[in-house]
Structure 1
Amino acid sequence: MIYKVYYQNDQKRNPKREDTHSLYLEAPTEVEARALVEAHTEHNIEFIEAIEGETLAYEQQNPNYKLTEFSE
């Protein structure tokens, strides 16, 4: 499953909507997607959304669409 993870760059600053970023990640479950991001970044995760079907096709048309892969 592909997940879109909305996040702030660090956990020390108060979240601001204008500073929200996103990344795309492939993981078996939402819990595992969260664990991957938490283990490999300092991001403050706001929301994780499973995307598939037409929504995924739409997101893939975005020039910024890229699956993030973390090395172990």
Structure 2
Amino acid sequence: MIFKVLYQELQEEIPVRERTKSLYVEADSVREVRKKLVDRNYNIEYIHELDEAHLNYEKETGKLKVENI
């Protein structure tokens, strides 16, 4: 499964839409995504499992780049 992670780069940073970044991670569960990202010290706002339609949309826009973790 592919998950979209919305995050702030600094742990203590307050979530603000204009500074929110995203990345894509392949994992079996949300828990596994969090384990993979624990060393990056991100302030994770939301982790969203992409369904087929959303995944296709991200591919079409060219935004989909799955992180190798």
TM-score for both structures, normalised by structure 2: 0.89
Residue 38 of structure 1 deviates from its aligned partner by: 1.6
Give aligned-pair identity as a percent: 38
Deviation >3 Å, runs of 4+ = none
Give, as a single letter, the amino acid of the residue that structure 2 aligns with 1:42: N
Structure 1 gap ranges (5+): none
Residue 13 of structure 1 deviates from its aligned partner by: 2.1
CA RMSD of aligned residues (A): 1.1
1:48 aligns with 2:35: no
TM-score for both structures, normalised by structure 1: 0.86
Aligned pairs for 1:19-38 within 5 A:
19-38=19-38
1:10 aligns with 2:7: no
The structure richer in helix per residue is 2
